[in-house]
A and B are shown apart, each in its own frame.
Chain A
Amino acid sequence: MDVLFYGQALSSPLMLGTAQYPSPEILRDAVLAARPGVVTVSLRREAAREKTGQAFWSLIQELGVPVLPNTAGCHTVKEAVTTAHMAREVFGTDWVKLEVIGEQDTLQPDVFGLVEAARILSEDGFKVFPYTTEDLVVAERLLACGCEVLMPWGAPIGSGRGLNNVFGLRALRAHFPGVPLVVDAGLGVPSHAAQALELGYDAVLINTAVARAGNPAEMARAFSLAVEAGRLGRAADPMEERDMAAPSTPVAGKAFLG
């Protein structure tokens, strides 16, 4: 059965960011190669004012993929809320990927501001996709605010380090079995994406790993294959691991000849 994000199924568990590509044409090639379920777009305030970013946004909208605007680069609740309103107007959608950045260098989320902004935006009718950590308590607060999707990080944005806290991500999955979960940020290579889907995550969001690859279109395709592989692997009910390091009995499995 399809996972629903605010009532809507996605055509692919891959979400693709649109920043940092060498050109809009290469971005388009990557989208055509990966056929993501969603593209995310960041809205810089100076571009939103007077809609001076319209030329680029039109190129994104022409891709024919659902758009999830984000509030990248916002450091306060007020900035994030304002940016979300601009995004709703520009893209005509009440979906918003909410980022409230707490630390300029690692770009890790300010989870306190995130919860507050999520509450304000949810009450205002937005369908919020919060970029958060794998913290269970923060997750509960976000859900209590009205969020119906959670987007925990794998590793800091742009670091390409993969799933840094597999235990934490697994716990989040186990605690919220009915909530669509997306690993957002920190994935570097396709196997990271496959691993996220194998853990039972419903989607991944990739940007830097594709945009900064030598061949973005091929990397985008590689990620789309990886999420498919991970999803099928999960659905096929994988075998259990066995720990062979500690024998349970001294003789089991050994030839016992006199």
Chain B
Amino acid sequence: MNSKPRILVKGAGVAGMTACVALAERGGDVTLYDQAGRVGAGASWFAGGMLAPWCEAESAPEEVTAQSVGAVDWWARHVPQVTRQGSLVLAPARDVGEIARFSRRTSHFTQVNGVEIAELEPDLDGRFQKGLFFEQEGHVDPRVALHALFERLLALGGHALLSGAPAPDEAAFDWVVDCTGLVARDRLDGLRGVRGEMLLLRCRDVSLHRPVRMLHPRIPVYIVPRADHIFMVGATMVESEDTGGMTVRSMLELLNAAYTLHPGFAEAEILETGIGVRPSYPDNIPRVTQDGKYLFINGMYRHGFLLSPARAEEAADRIFGQAA
């Protein structure tokens, strides 16, 4: 190959931004384009940002865990503010059976009792008697992370067509990496959307050091601490592509979980309600597919921040493997 391959990455969500950086690091001449004109216009903006390969094994197949074990390291190499404090899985006393079930399906945790939970999270002292601690997991603020990747792309000499830039001529590129989520559904068989709803709360009365998953037979909810006393509470999973506002029921379920975790959340300020529709394949596992010079990274489902590094490197392997 005489010159750098010219690569167009379409879509500035987590799949597209990780792809941009991975490809630029391998020596690609990368141009980013997003029809919405900005970084994070899709579901990624509302993600939890949990980097929890072992917790996800509760409901995801083994390959999801196997391919995402390196995700925490990948993010730590590429963006600031990756928190590596593990994650905590708890259940209200009545649903404590859910912890037994969760522990049977997962690995790389330690069982923690009330005293140990209080050592990890002093604000939860006396509130929970049984939990699981996944020490090696981490989390990241998706909005901070997406912008950090964008800066990194520019620092690596990449180009960005945002803010109303016209769609580029795809014929001018050696490769087109399509990370447009549901926009690409006409070209990708089986892609569907799974609605998710989340809340951002500001609460000065509660401090957490790590994401907490509150188990419940029907309504599992996680609460992720972010900077400035902000907490992300998410997320519902509804087999619908509706992008309308959050329902009262979903709001109640999310707030109930937060309040059950700590009554101090009663005084929290509701900063934002967010709705995203997760692009998903029938097996709910993200894929890289190829059609000539077109590569599609899609179907991130709820594994965007967890699996996009592996999928971005897989796409880079295809391009630079062929170019070599």
Interface residues of A (CB under 8 A from B): 20, 22-26, 28, 44, 46-47, 49-50, 52-56, 59, 73, 158, 208, 212, 214
Contact = CB atoms under 8 A, between A and B. Distances in A.
A20 B59 CA distance: 10
B282 A47 contact: no
B240 A52 contact: yes
Contacts of B60: 22
B238 A46 contact: yes
**Interface residues of B, dominant DSSP:** loop
Nearest to A45: B247
**Interface residues of A, dominant DSSP:** helix
Which 6 residue pairs of A and B lie closest in terms of their CB atoms, listed nearest first?
A55-B192, A47-B240, A56-B239, A23-B284, A52-B242, A25-B283
A55 B285 CA distance: 17
Contacts of A56: 192, 239-240
Contacts, number: 62
B241 interface: yes
Interface centre among B192, B238, B239, B283 (most CB of A within 10 A): B239
Given A25-B282, A25-B283, A158 B218 contact: yes
B321 interface: no
Contacts of A23: 282-285
Interface of B: 59-61, 101, 104-105, 192-193, 195, 217-218, 238-242, 244, 247, 249, 282-285
Contact of B239 (A26, A28, A53, A214): A53
Given A22-B60, A55-B192, A55-B193, A47 B242 contact: yes
A25 B282 CA distance: 5
A53 B195 CA distance: 9
A25 B284 contact: yes
A185 B250 CA distance: 23
B259 to A, nearest CB: 15
Contacts of A25: 282-284
Contacts of A50: 242
A114 B151 CA distance: 58
Contacts of A73: 249
22 contacts: A22-B284, A23-B282, A23-B283, A24-B192, A24-B283, A25-B282, A25-B284, A28-B282, A44-B240, A46-B242, A46-B247, A47-B240, A53-B239, A53-B241, A54-B241, A55-B193, A55-B239, A55-B241, A56-B192, A56-B239, A158-B218, A214-B105
